[in-house]
Amino acid sequence: LTKVRLNSCAGIRCGAKMLLRRAAINLSASRPVEKLGQGLAPVRSLPTHHHAAKHSVAAAAGPPNASSGRPAATPAAPEVYTESPDPEIVAFQQHQKSAARVSPAEAARTMTALARFGLLATISVREEGGFPLGSVVEYTVDPSGRPVFAVSSLSAHTTDMAEDGRISLTVMESGFKGVQDGRFTLQGRVRPVSDAERPALRDAFIKKYPDAFWVDFADFRWFIMDQIVAGRYNGGFAMAKRLSGEDYLGAAADPVAAFSGPVCGHMNDDHQADTIAMIKHYVGLSVDSARLTDLDRLGMNAVVTRKGQSFKLRLPFAKPVTDRKGIKDAIVEMTKAARGAPAAPQQQQ
């Protein structure tokens, strides 16, 4: 163990004056969002109503019994992940293989654009041997998706970035619980932001974090990941993909993912039975419960429970959507079809 670094919200070495100056910062403020039927208000992150699937080992094995010396029970994989003879499971597996999904690059761009914070890893110049240093930071992105950081000169990672620009930034989908949930790591080099670039990037940062008045403190410095080398996207089990810098920069953030929170929240609170019906109608799988976690232009993701086992599934839209009205129209049409009611004819766009 080389060293343990304690990093409080103000910084141990900031001094009493800096501590008092920053003590009033409140980063936990939240804003209400409108429900689906009331016009979806843009939100700042991916779904706030995310409930990740839990491994069946939690119920089967229980907590380890160290005193007995007995090994923990072997985790049981959900039936949908096995070679089941159940025709419904077989049909479900085939459906999920071809279900429409955004590309890993598009998912990575979206996650990076919408995440509220990330884990910044730098090469420590203060420790002999250049051990990596991890720091939780807020950031924004420029129009091309390159991360932008506003950091105090008192922070160790600021010194690291100034002396060795090699970094990585890891972000996670909202509500991240474990390895079944999405995450993305971007690797590259940072450089200081020029005076000409700073006003526009500052505006983008303040738009994302309206209370971040401290970015105007004299000791704060601005950096941008100007050179993107590679990315590693993992959308959950068996959904890993290495991306080149060109893959990442060539993709675009999803146009409707920011509405995941209000849409999924409304559906989960008021229309869970409709979600279950849509899954049965379109996916062909009978489930006991279902909660939508997030959505994109091609469809929705859900955590479902079937015979006591929880897992994720994909529920595609009938056609791509491009705005919040399109989301509502798609869900209404799918709900009507699942209920057996005639759907209104689609208007040509």
- Which of 183, 111, 177 lies closest to 147 in space, CA to CA? 111
pLDDT above 90: percentage of residues in the chain: 64
Mean pLDDT, the chain, rounded, equals 82
Closest CA to 49 of 294, 316, 328, 312: 294
Which range is least confidently modeled, 32-46, 178-192, 213-227? Answer: 32-46
Q: Residue 69 and residue 45: Cα distance in Å, rounded?
A: 44
Q: What is the pLDDT of residue 1?
A: 54
Residue 79 confidence (pLDDT): 75
- Angle at the Cα of 204 (from 141 to 243), degrees rounded to 5? 10
Contact yes or no for 266/41 (Cβ under 8 A): no
DSSP code of residue 37: G
Cβ-based neighbours of 72, under 8 Å, separated by 6 or more: 57, 61, 64
Phi/psi at 216 (nearest 5 deg)?
-90, 0
pLDDT score of 42 more than 60:
no
Q: What is the mean pLDDT of residues 61-90?
A: 72
Mean pLDDT across 285-296: 96
The per-residue DSSP string of 53-71 comes to ---THHHHH-S--TTTTPP
Average the pLDDT over each of 68-77, 145-154, 231-240 and give the range with the smallest value. 68-77
C-beta atoms surrounding 329 within 10 Å: 18
